[in-house]
Chains A and B, each alone.
Chain A
Amino acid sequence: MSKLVVTSVSPGTSVQDAGRFGAQRYGLVPSGAVDRLALAAANALVGNELFAATIELGPLNSVLTARGGAVRVALTGATRPADVAGQPMAVNTSVTIADGESLNIGVVRSGTFGYLAIEGGVRGEPMFGSLAVNARAGLGSPYPRPLQSGDELQVAAASSANEKRIDLPAVVEGPIRVVMGPQDDEFDDAKELFLSSEWKISAMSDRMGYRLEGPVIKHLHGHNIVSDGTVNGSIQVPGNGQPIVLMPDRGTTGGYPKIATVISSDLGRFGQTQPGRGFRFKAISMAEAQAEYRATAELLRSLPGRVHDANILMLDIKALQSANVAGVAINAMDATTWQVHAAAQD
C-alpha cells in the first residue's frame, strides 16, 4: 500500500466524484465534481471507473508526495504547469510518482479546477454511494472537509509506468447555454437584459454558488418566493439583482426566483470560467438542451477509447535522436505527433 501525502495544498481542494444522490428530499445536496468531463477523463487515464473519486484541485499551487511506494496519477481540467521531481508533466496525461518524490502542481493559466485521479482510486467509506466531500454535512471521505497539509490518502501501488494521454475535443468557446425558467415569469424586460449582457464571475464565489457581476436584474414582484427546489446550474436572482449560479454544494431548496438554468452539458465549462473573465448567456430550447446532453453522454462513453500510450512515441523520438537513424520518419502532418511532442516538452 502506498500513500499520497498532501505536502501543501491550494484552497478549494477536496475529494470529489460524481456526487451523492437520493437524499435531496432530506436536504442533502449531491455535491460532486464541478467539471464531470474532466473528472471522467482523469479516471480514464489511470483505468478507473469514470466517476471514481479524485482530488478536485483548487486554482493555486499544490504539492503531493508519494510515500511507501510509487503512485500513478493523471491530471486533467484547468491548464497549468506541473512536474514530478523537476520532470514536466502535461495536463491530460498520466505520470508515476516514485516513492519519496513529489508532484508539483502550479497555478492555473486557464480554468479553475483540476482533477487528479489516482490509479486504483481514493480509499474511503462511501456514504450514499459517494466519497464526495460536503463539508457542511460533515460528509466525504477519507476527510469530510477540504484537504489540508499533512493529510494522507491511502492508495494502491502503481501497477506499471505505462503512461497514457487522452485526446479530448477542444473546449467550445461561446456563450453559456441556458434553459429559461422555472421562474422566468417573475421577470419582464430583465430577461432580455440578462441574455444580452456581459457577465463576470465575482471573486466571492465557491462550490456553493458563483456570484455574477453585471447589470441589475429587476424582479416584477419582489425577490421572495416560497422556497422551491434547486438544481445544479439554477440561476437565482436575489434582492440586489445580481444573479447567483448554484453549484454542486448549493442548498437543495431556495427562496429566490430562478430566471434560468445552465444546461447540463455546459455546467463543467461554466464552472471552469475564471473570476473576472467576461461571458454571456444564451437561451436554447429544451429539445436542443436534451440533444446536447445526449452528445455529452456519448462523449463520456467514448473516453476510454480516447486514451493512448503516451511514452512509446516519446521513447521513439529519443531512440531516433540518439541513434541518428535516417529513413524512419515521424509523420509531420499528423497533429497528434506534435501534441505528444509538445506535451513532452511542456
Chain B
Amino acid sequence: MVAALSPPRILPSGDAAITVEFSRTIDAEANRRVLALDRLVASDALTGVTETVPTYRSLLVHYDSLQIGFEALGDKLTELALRPLPEATATRRWRIPVVYGGENGIDLEDVAKTLNITPDEVVARHVGGDYRVAMIGFTPGWSYLSGLPDSMQMSRRQNPRLLTPPGTISIGGIQTGVQCLAGPSGWHLLGRTAVRTYQLHRDPIFLLEPGDAVTFSAVDEKTFAEQDRAAEGGEFVAELMS
C-alpha cells in the first residue's frame, strides 16, 4: 500500500526563488522526496526555472519571473511533488579513503572519550556506515551525508573552529561531512581525505551529486600522502564502486 503524499509547503524566497519545504527536521523520507522533485524539475525542463538547490528537507527553485510567476510555478511544483515517488534507481556509490586520527583528525580521541569507546572503534563505526549525499552546500563541494550510525551521533562543538583543513572528514549532530575547502566548522574532526569534491580544471569539477551513496575506507598516512599528490594532479582518488 502506498501512503498518500502530503503536499509540501510553497514558501517565497524573494521574487526570484521558491522554497519547496517537505519537512522542518532532518528526515530521510523528506530528503528522498526533495531529490525526486529535483529530478522531475530537471527532466520536465520547467519554463523559467534557472537552477535548483536540494537540501535535506527542501528544494530551492530559482526562477525568472519574466517567464513564470510565483503562483503558477508554485502550483506546478506542488503537482510534481505529489506524483508517486519513483522506484529507487541505480545510484552511484563512491568509496572515499580517509586517514583517521593524529594531526589529520584532531578530535578522534575526544570523540572516543565522549562515546566511551576506543578510537579504533570510532573508526570502525564510521567506516561501517552506509551514507547518502543528502545535500551539498555552503561552500563548493561541502557534502552533507546522512546515514551516520546512531551510536556516533553527538552535538556540535561549543566553540566552532575558524579554520579547518581542506579534505576534512567530520561528524556533527546526526550527520557526517566531506569538506572540500579550508574553512570554519563546528563539527568534530575525525580525519582527512585526499578526495577533492571540488577541483577546478578537472572534468567534472564537482565529484559528488546529491543522492550519491558513499562508503569510507581507512588508509594510512603514507597512502594519504600519495593520494593527495595524485589528486592534486587531477586524479579522482575516490573509487566509483557502482
Q: Are B139 and A27 in contact (CB under 8 A)?
A: yes
Q: Contact flags (1/0) for A18-59 with B, using CB distance below 8 Å? A: 000111111110000000000000000000000000000000
B49-57, B124-132, B219-227: which one contacts chain A? B49-57
Q: Are B138 and A27 in contact (CB under 8 A)?
A: yes
Q: Does A268 contact B (CB under 8 A)?
A: no
Q: What residue in chain A is nearest B69 (Cβ atoms)?
A: A290
Specify which chain A residues have a CB less than 8 angstroms from the CB of B206 in the assembled complex.
23, 26, 28
What is the CA–CA distance of A79 and B80 in the complex, to the nearest angstrom? 48
Q: Does A233 contact B (CB under 8 A)?
A: yes
Q: Are B62 and A24 in contact (CB under 8 A)?
A: yes
Q: Does A263 contact B (CB under 8 A)?
A: yes
Q: Are A261 and B200 in contact (CB under 8 A)?
A: no
What is the CA–CA distance of A127 and B11 in the complex, to the nearest angstrom? 31
Q: Are A290 and B51 in contact (CB under 8 A)?
A: no
Q: Does A214 contact B (CB under 8 A)?
A: no
B20-28, B84-92, B93-101, B230-238: which one contacts chain A? B20-28
Q: Does B102 contact A (CB under 8 A)?
A: no
Q: Are B56 and A227 in contact (CB under 8 A)?
A: yes
Q: Are A27 and B200 in contact (CB under 8 A)?
A: no
Q: Contact flags (1/0) for B188-206 with A, using CB distance below 8 Å? A: 0000000000101000011
Instruction: Count how many chain A residues have C-beta atoms less than 8 Å from C-beta atoms of the other chain.
Output: 44
Q: Contact flags (1/0) for A294-310 with B, using CB distance below 8 Å? A: 10010000000000000
Please pick, from A127, A182, A226, A286, the residue contacting B25 in the complex, using a CB distance under 8 A. A226
Please pick, from B16, B24, B183, the residue contacting A293 in the complex, using a CB distance under 8 A. B16
**SS class, residues of chain A in contact with chain B:** mixed
Q: Contact flags (1/0) for A170-186 with B, using CB distance below 8 Å? A: 00000000011111000
B103-111, B113-121, B140-148: which one contacts chain A? B140-148
Nearest CB in chain A: distance from B181 CB, A: 7
Nearest CB in chain B: distance from A299 CB, A: 13
The B-contacting residues of A in range 172-203, CB under 8 angstroms, are: 179-183
- Using A21-B51, A25-B53, A27-B136 as known contacts, say yes or no to A293 and B60 having CB atoms under 8 A apart: no
Q: Are B15 and A263 in contact (CB under 8 A)?
A: yes
Nearest CB in chain A: distance from B230 CB, A: 20
Specify which chain A residues have a CB less than 8 angstroms from the CB of B19 in the assembled complex.
181-182, 228-229
Q: What residue in chain A is nearest B58 (Cβ atoms)?
A: A228
Nearest CB in chain A: distance from B112 CB, A: 26
Q: Does A247 contact B (CB under 8 A)?
A: no
20 sample A-B contacts, Cβ–Cβ < 8 Å, listed by A number: A24-B53, A26-B205, A138-B200, A182-B12, A182-B21, A183-B11, A225-B24, A226-B26, A226-B57, A228-B55, A230-B60, A231-B16, A234-B13, A253-B135, A253-B137, A258-B13, A263-B15, A264-B15, A289-B15, A293-B16
